[in-house]
Amino acid sequence: MAKKENNNSSNGANHVSSPVEELLLAALERNDNTFETGRYLATFKEGVGEDGTQSLATQGMRVADARDFSDQAAILENIGDADAVVFPEIGVALLSGNAAQERNMSTFAEIASDSPILSIDPEYFVFADNTYAEFLQSGTAQTDQSASSEFLRGFLQATETITKEMRGNGHSQSEIEEEVQVLGATWGVRACRVPASIRSGMGIKVAVLDTGFDLGHPDFLGRPVVGATFVGQPVQDLHSHGTHCIGTACGPRTPAGTTPRYGIGFRSSIFVGKVLSNSGSSVGGSVLAGMNWAIANRCQVISMSLGGPGGPHPAYTAAGQAALTNGCLIIAAAGNNGPGPTGAPANSPTIMSVASLDSNLQPSSFSARGKIDIAAPGRDIFSSVPRPVRYGNKNGTSMATPHVAGCAALWAETSPNMRGRALWQRLQATARRLPFPASQVGAGLVQAP
């Protein structure tokens, strides 16, 4: 069924600088189930980014550029009254809803063959992978408008609740600190053959685009960390999803006390891109801004445990290709809506998608199927979470993804030529083969060098 065009002229909440919460409120007022924000993404044809930017200005748009910000860390809330913001590394522009519609540049507009613009598509809301899957598995995502509204409404209340829990004494059962009695390594790290590797990720930049990071976590003191936010909130993680993913990809080799080794690239440089808010919600523009930043900083490994509807989306595909062209590799969670199909952005052909395995090395029941490139441990994964809890277990393809990212950092350390597409191919070529279809596990279980 064709999607209706969004018309937000009455609420004025589709500006480039509109915060996530304002866009969520506007979506509730529209009362539809498209998960569209009301803004648009213009993807330029490869190699014509400057012409694409000029074409927007020619049509009278006030255009901001990520290069106007230090290290291209473009904070959308600081864009001001711009009608569009361009992410030059990936060749994508985020357009204000009203400005785009006034110039007939919305979803169903015809694009001239000689235009530098490849496509114009709606911007969608994006969520921490586990959260979005919970809604999809409710069976109401495509059929019940009220359920869609309630889902969005929940995110407006979540930030305050999460903040209180993390600052107080209440914590969810899944994040209660575990009593670890013996030294060693987690089952996931062992399954990936990490302890036997002589590699540490030294000299490799690993960007984790998620809910941020607990910058004061004692296991990471003294580590080089570069942080940037793309959702108008401090990088400090008040959700825990991001800290858990960073722990797996980049955590220490020998945590204090009897805590087992849970991290892989223990000497890699950590780049924290906060593209999801403390409620675990975001929008495509913020995620793309984070991808643009990570590529601009030439992070050889970019890990993304998040998802949204539809796809493959041209903007994500362009970002994935830009990463490969610049010696970077984007690795993304396939999704927890199994046996449903791989979600966005992992379903883009230029982004490596990761499925989840249980400790018996069988596909997790929740793991998405279809476009799967590789698999990794994703159930009962022990890693870091924000203080005061410090450690906890989580499940999901979100947890599998940083296992691949960490191993990718170790492989990238082996040679300066092990970058981009070559790194992707090496990860697949060295994966442990499993007796399951490629649509469930891809090339198999990721292995460290």
Look at residue 323 and give its three-state secondary structure: helix
398 is known as an active-site residue: yes
Closest by Cα among 169, 294, 276, 174 to 230: 276
Longest dimension (CA), the chain: 66
79, 87 contact by CB (below 8 A): no
According to DSSP, the residues that pair with 338 across neighbouring strands are none
The contacts of residue 61 (CB under 8 Å, 6+ apart) are 82, 83, 84, 95, 99, 103
Exactly one of 217, 239, 241, 313 is catalytic; name it.
241
68 is known as an active-site residue: no
CA dihedral for 281, 286, 292, 298, sign (positive or negative): negative
Whole-number Å distance between alpha carbons of 37 and 14: 7
Closest by Cα among 142, 391, 149 to 255: 391
Exactly one of 96, 148, 197, 398 is catalytic; name it.
398
Q: What is the DSSP string of 381-427?
A: EEEE-STTT-EEEE-SHHHHHHHHHHHHHHHHHT-TT--HHHHHHHH
403 is known as an active-site residue: no
Quick one: 6 exposed, middle or buried, by C-beta within 10 A (0-12, 13-18, 19+)? buried
Q: CA–CA distance from 415 to each of 38, 96, 177, 324, 409 (Å)?
A: 44, 43, 38, 16, 11
Closest by Cα among 301, 230, 305 to 269: 301
Exactly one of 83, 210, 219, 237 is catalytic; name it.
210
Q: Which residues are catalytic?
A: 210, 241, 398
